[in-house]
């Protein structure tokens, strides 16, 4: 371990004891990460991220939903990565298949062949049909050269995920959303240049704390709910070359919320309605 890492260990232990999970992550970022991985190229100034794909006409996290996001011109598709009992990488938001398929069980306790017996559906919209649970490799192949991938890293091995990313030739079109400190250290060890994203810690909301954080820690991208940010906080992040892509998806998402979010001047938004958001942005001359 480097001497700077050794010097940081007392602080790490303190953060663990205080249960400040994301502060611990930020310290790890400072110790192990050379700042500013290169983000994937985009065609638009304002980033639109299709949350679990464009699931306004197909069940979430299916190849059909991802294709809709491509067709509607989103910049990123957000996907949720999990691992089967036999070590295969598949896409599903929940840890079980109960909500989104015609089967039941934990993904981690089912083999890929067992999962392939079930179909993804939206029970509120049976007209959308039944769809297979996508394998990660299938999603990478579908998206390659067409849309970037926002990889919500739920439950998987970074080494296994990065191997499939390299095999698909998509290493320059993926960003990884980190859910736990161990994920960060593992990704940094496996793929030092991979852009990593974290949510804004609740304890970092005041602008003065935001500036202090970004003066000491060089993160690639910030996420989190749009209502956790102020315009001043996002301005500080922009000065530090850290884009903020807040989440706007919610049951009440629409023009009223989009107007409110745009007043903060974020670099992008994650949405449940990518086509409608893109149309709205175009009407404002933003995209």
Query: What are 10-43's pLDDT values in tens digits?
Result: 433 333 443 444 544 444 444 444 455 899 999 9
Closest among 190, 66, 8, 183 to 199, alpha carbons compared: 183
Q: Can you read off the two tokens belonging to residue 92? A: 């599903």
| pLDDT of res. 143 | 98
Give the DSSP per-residue string, 130-148: -EEPPBHHHHHHHHTTT-E
Domains and CATH numbers, the chain: 1-27 (no CATH), 33-283 (3.20.20.190)
Q: Are 25 and 198 in contact (CB under 8 A)?
A: yes
pLDDT exceeds cutoff 50 at 1: no
Query: What are 96-121's pLDDT values in tens digits?
Result: 999 999 999 999 999 999 999 999 99
Residue 208 — very low, low, confident or very high, per pLDDT cuts 50/70/90?
Answer: confident
Query: Which range (5-9, 125-129, 282-286) has the least confidence?
Result: 5-9
* Separation between Cα atoms, residue 67 and residue 106, nearest integer Å: 26
Three-state helix/strand/coil letters over 49-88: EEECCCCCCCCCCCHHHHHHHHHCCCCEEEEEEEECCCCC
> What separation in angstroms does the CA of 150 have from each of 15, 30, 74, 173?
28, 23, 12, 9
* Separation between Cα atoms, residue 145 and residue 173, nearest integer Å: 8
| pLDDT of res. 36 | 58
pTM of the model as a whole: 0.87
> Alpha carbon 123 to chain centroid distance?
25
* Separation between Cα atoms, residue 93 and residue 60, nearest integer Å: 9
| pLDDT of res. 186 | 94
| pLDDT of res. 203 | 67
H or E segment and range at residue 26: helix 21-32
Residue 217 — very low, low, confident or very high, per pLDDT cuts 50/70/90?
Answer: low
Mean pLDDT of 225-237: 93
* Separation between Cα atoms, residue 118 and residue 99, nearest integer Å: 12
Identify which has the larger pLDDT, 11 or 75: 75
| pLDDT of res. 211 | 86
Identify which has the larger pLDDT, 40 or 5: 40
> What separation in angstroms does the CA of 204 have from each of 222, 238, 250?
12, 16, 23
| pLDDT of res. 8 | 40
Average pLDDT, the chain: 88
């Amino acid at each position: 371990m480097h001497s700077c890492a050794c010097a940081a260990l007392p602080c790490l232990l303190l953060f663990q004891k205080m249960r400040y999970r994301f502060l611990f992550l930020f310290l790890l970022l400072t110790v192990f990460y050379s700042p500013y991985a290169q983000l994937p190229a985009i065609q638009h100034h304002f980033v639109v991220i299709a949350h679990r794909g464009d699931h306004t006409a197909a069940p979430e996290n299916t190849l059909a939903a991802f294709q809709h996001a491509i067709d509607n011109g989103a910049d990123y598709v957000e996907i949720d990565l999990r691992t089967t009992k036999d070590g295969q990488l598949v896409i599903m938001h929940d840890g079980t298949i109960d909500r989104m398929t015609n089967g039941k069980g934990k993904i981690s306790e089912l083999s890929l062949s067992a999962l392939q017996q079930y179909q993804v559906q939206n029970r509120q919209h049976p007209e959308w049909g039944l769809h297979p649970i996508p394998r990660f490799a299938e999603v990478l192949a579908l998206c390659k050269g067409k849309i970037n991938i926002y990889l919500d890293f739920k439950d998987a091995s970074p080494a296994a995920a990065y191997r499939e990313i390299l095999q698909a030739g998509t290493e320059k079109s993926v960003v990884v959303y980190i859910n736990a400190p161990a994920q960060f250290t593992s990704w940094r060890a496996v793929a030092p240049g991979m852009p990593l994203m974290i949510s804004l810690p609740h304890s970092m909301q005041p602008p003065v704390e935001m500036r202090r954080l970004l003066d000491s820690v060089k993160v690639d991208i910030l996420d989190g709910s749009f209502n956790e940010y102020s315009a001043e906080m996002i301005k500080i992040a922009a000065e530090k070359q850290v884009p903020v892509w807040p989440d706007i998806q919610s049951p009440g998402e629409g023009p009223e919320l989009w107007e409110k979010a745009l007043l903060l001047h974020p670099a992008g938004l994650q949405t449940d309605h990518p086509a409608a958001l893109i149309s709205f942005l175009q009407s404002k001359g933003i995209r």
